Structures are given as structure tokens and as C-alpha cells.
Amino acid sequence: MTLVYACIAPHGDETIRAITPKQKQRSFRVTEQGLKTLASHVVRSRPDTIVIATPHNLRLWKEIGVVTAQNSSGKLIGENRRSVSLKVRCDVEFSHQLLIKASKRGLPVVGANYGSSEGEMSDLPMDWGTLVPLWFILRKKNWHPRVSIVTPSREIPLIQNMKFGQIIAEIMEHTSKKFVFIASADQAHAHKKSGPYGFNRAAAKYDYIMMNAIKANNLTSILRLKSRFVEAAKPDSLWQTAILAGIVERVKMKSQLFSYQVPTYYGMICAGYTRI
């Protein structure tokens, strides 16, 4: 089978109404609807495995992480003290294939398990970058795809994250399964002076460049961004999107921007990719 859908999905937990105070829900409505749209595309494509690249799981110095645990589970508690939780079974076979092939190609990759070597106790804690997009996709669905979690590296050349994406695509295109890829990504984090990263004009420019790259179906253009500019804008999207750039370089896909907003100090983009 093959890759059937890909997307860029934000992961701000305020998009989940159940754990967001009512006075804040309206501010995130545009992105909430965008996530629901993405989720509907994923559900309709009915993949066997969802591969998700998250910036908030393993932060490995100069290494790309591939989760090899059999399970991943997590819980989010909102400002209103209500919570949502999720547990998934991982596609260990795909993750091992990816780990071996990327290593043979000379990429800095490392596999990571947690708890026991196998069974129910082999359960890596699920970060919010994984949980939020998957919650929109899997909640109230009588459907349980396997999940493969990968984590990019910010310390290695950006092109290596892209090459990692190319390898993901190669494996997807030569297996008997249907796949969806999710780049879990919030955009620049320096939009508001009151935010934890302060204000920088680079934030708006970064988000504009990212939206143009999506609209033009030219994600490889983001590889040209200078490190000083990226540091000023404070995104957490660049490295996962570079992985997606590698995937769509190997599998021809058409992009569609569903939503963009800056409801707080960071930007949020919802975008989908369908095969041409």
C-alpha cells in the first residue's frame, strides 16, 4: 500500500474544549475547526498506521528519535482541572524498519523504549505534541490504528531531517499498509510581548514564509531559512516540517491550507496533503 494522507497539525491543548475554560474556547475556534477538518480526512483515509513527528517527546542531543515501545499513553490536565487521556498501540515493526534503514544511510538516529522490553509495561509517556492531534482523530472512534512516534533533532543540519522524511516515504511505499503522516507543529512563538518568549517581528515573517511554502506546495524552500532568523521567531515547527518536506519530495502530493491564526503568543497552522 502507501502513504494516503499527510498534514501539519498544531498541538496547543486549548483547542480541546473539554479541558479549556469557556472564556478561552472562542479564541481557538478557528484552529479547533481546522483540526476537526484534518481529523475527518485522516479518518476517511483509514490508515493502518499513523506516523507522527513531535517536538515535545524525546529531546535527544544531535539525534533523531524513533520510539520502539509497544505502547504510548498520556494525559492532559487543563486550566479547568478537567483532563483527557489517550493510549495507543505502536507500530513496532515499522519503527524498527525505519531505525535500521536510517542508520544504514548514515543518519543520526536512536531507538527508544520505556519500561519493559515488551508487553503492557513497554509504554512510553505520550507528550502533548502527540496527544492533541491524535485526540481529534481517535476520540469516539471505533477504530484503532497503530502509531509510530518520531522526534526530529534541532542540532543537526536541517537537510538530515528532510532525508529522514525521504526514508519514511520509501518504507511507506514498499509495505502492505496504508499510512498517514502528521507533522505536529505550532509555528512562531514570539508574537506577543506578554508571552514567555517576548515579541519579535521575525515571528510574523516566519509564519508568512511557512504559509507561502504550504500554498506553493514547496516545503523545501524552508531549508533556506537562516538559523539566526529561526531563533528570533522561536518556532517549534521547522524540523517536523522538514521531515514532511522529505516525504512529499518522494511522494507527489497537493497541499491545502485549512486555517491559520494567532490566538495567543504562538501561531497555529492546519494544512493537509493529498496524493496527486
Given this model, what pLDDT does residue 12 score? Answer: 95
Q: In what order do the strands lie in the sheet with 71-77?
A: 83-89, 71-77, 123-125
Given this model, what pLDDT does residue 86 score? Answer: 95
Q: Which domains does the chain have, with CATH numbers?
A: 3-186+243-275 (3.40.830.10)
For residue 81, give the DSSP letter: S
pLDDT per residue over 7-47, tens digit each? 999 999 999 999 999 999 999 999 999 999 999 999 999 99
Bridge partners of residue 148, in order along the sequence: 51
Q: Which three cell numbers stand for residue 3?
A: 502513504
Contact 148, 88 (CB under 8 A): no
140: left (phi over 0), alpha (psi -120 to 50) or beta: left
Given this model, what pLDDT does residue 142 score? Answer: 79
**Residuewise pLDDT in 10s, the chain (276 residues):** 699 999 999 999 999 999 999 999 999 999 999 999 999 999 999 999 999 999 999 999 999 999 999 999 999 999 888 999 999 999 999 999 999 999 999 999 999 999 999 999 999 999 999 999 999 999 877 789 999 999 999 999 999 999 999 999 999 999 999 999 999 999 999 999 999 999 999 999 999 999 999 999 999 999 999 999 999 999 999 999 999 999 999 999 999 999 999 999 999 999 999 999
What is the chain's percent helix, strand, coil content, to nearest 5? 40, 25, 35
pTM of the model: 0.97
Contact 7, 41 (CB under 8 A): yes
**How far, in Å, are 15, 78, 86, 154 from residue 81 at the CA level?**
15, 5, 17, 33
Given this model, what pLDDT does residue 274 score? Answer: 97
Given this model, what pLDDT does residue 140 score? Answer: 72
